[in-house]
Amino acid sequence: MDAGDNEKIVIAQAPGRIIFLGDHGQVKDGLYVSSGIDSSVQVAVSFRKDSSIRFFAADSNERKRTTLVNLRYKREDRWANYVKTAINIFLELGCELRGLNFTIFGDIPQNISLASSSAVEVASAMALRRFFMPGMADNDLISRLTASHAGFYDKENKIVDYLTMMNAKKDHFLLINEATQEVKRVKNPFPKHKILLMDSKVPVIEVQQELKQRRATVLKGIEILEKTRDAVSLKDISLTDLDELMGQVNEEVRRRCLFVVEEIGRIREVAKAIVEGDKDSFAKNLFHSHEGLRDLYEVSCPETDWLVKRASETPGVIGARMTGLGFGGCIYVMIKSDAVDEYQHRLEDYERIFGFRTITHELHIAGGTRMILK
């Protein structure tokens, strides 16, 4: 850390997260199946004698700086903006902030939808809470972090990231209702299966506009439904309701809304399958979810489709699906330990066909945010 009044240092740790289902549902009102993972970010915070705010990323040996007066988003500050998002919470609450040192280090793989940026925000907010408002409740911190992110970046961040990181528990799936912030922990009933994250290495470029268009299409469908139903959420709409009401809209709106309604049903089925240890239902719904992302929501690509298809043909696999933004990126595979070599063997043609070489990350379901030094 930079020199300063380091008489007290606080260190907080936040895990990365993986979303198994729900990452393309209804905005602000989604259902999710997620978990924390065994890669994390740690943020160490100490006071300074001056009014400067210093940021140091230990992994890349990069330094940034600002002051409280100039605390705002700057594109060139990149990763430091996530820390600023957390600082802004306590600035807006009127806390007597002064100069601070932040040191960030972690091992979450970057740019493959494991929410490393959200982990920086959560760990920074946890550390600052310890300094300035230790009595603040977790849900209050999450709500304020969500609002601060929206203000800094002029866009919403999915609250599911924060809820997952704050509630994650080793060897437990999380069933999350985004609208109510309700989180249910369920013991992983498949402990003998590994979770492999397969990076297709297809670059994910400029997909935000495509995703924005899809969300707008879903909202258009909801507006039509509101005119004839009291429900304002697709969670309250059945497939029969959708069939009856969607005759007046174009095919694109019908397909997008159909995916979301079907996905909500799959999430409920998977939640039940996890509780009951029903491997067949679990597998069926994961594979059908990927098919919906491919055929109805249209955010998959040939490479990830190929990887999921190979998984579905491999004995010992109980599910596979695209995860993240789509149009490239990663899939995850839940697979028996003794079937991993066979699955890897079936991927040998991937580079020859597509020109990319996959990278495999083995993930473990891990615990949530915690204080390392307080």
Copy the structure tokens of residue 95.
Answer: 């806390």
Q: Report pLDDT for 118.
A: 96
Tokens 């599911």 sit at which residue? 160
Q: Are 258 and 243 in contact (CB under 8 A)?
A: no
CA angle in degrees (0–180, nearest 5) for 41-47-49 = 145
Q: How many other CB atoms are found less than 10 A from the CB of residue 270?
A: 26
Q: How many other CB atoms are found less than 10 A from the CB of residue 143?
A: 15
Tell me the per-residue pLDDT of 111-138, one tens digit each, with 9 for 90 and over: 899 999 999 999 999 999 999 999 999 9
pLDDT at 225 over 70: yes
Q: How distant is the alpha carbon of residue 240 from its chain centre?
A: 31
Range of lowest pLDDT (70-79, 154-163, 297-306): 154-163
Q: Are 126 and 79 in contact (CB under 8 A)?
A: no
Q: Report pLDDT for 176.
A: 96
Q: Are 270 and 285 in contact (CB under 8 A)?
A: yes
pLDDT at 247 over 70: no
Distance from C-alpha of 198 to C-alpha of 69, rounded to nearest angstrom: 43
158: confidence class by pLDDT, cuts 50, 70, 90: confident
Mean pLDDT of the chain: 92
Region 202-227: mean pLDDT is: 86
Q: Report pLDDT for 230.
A: 65
Q: Are 335 and 314 in contact (CB under 8 A)?
A: yes
Region 323-348: mean pLDDT is: 95
pLDDT at 178 over 80: yes
Range of lowest pLDDT (100-104, 158-162, 310-314): 158-162
Q: Which helix (H) or strand (E) holds 320?
A: strand 317-323
pLDDT at 4 over 70: no
Q: How distant is the alpha carbon of residue 22 from its chain centre?
A: 10
Q: Report pLDDT for 5.
A: 43
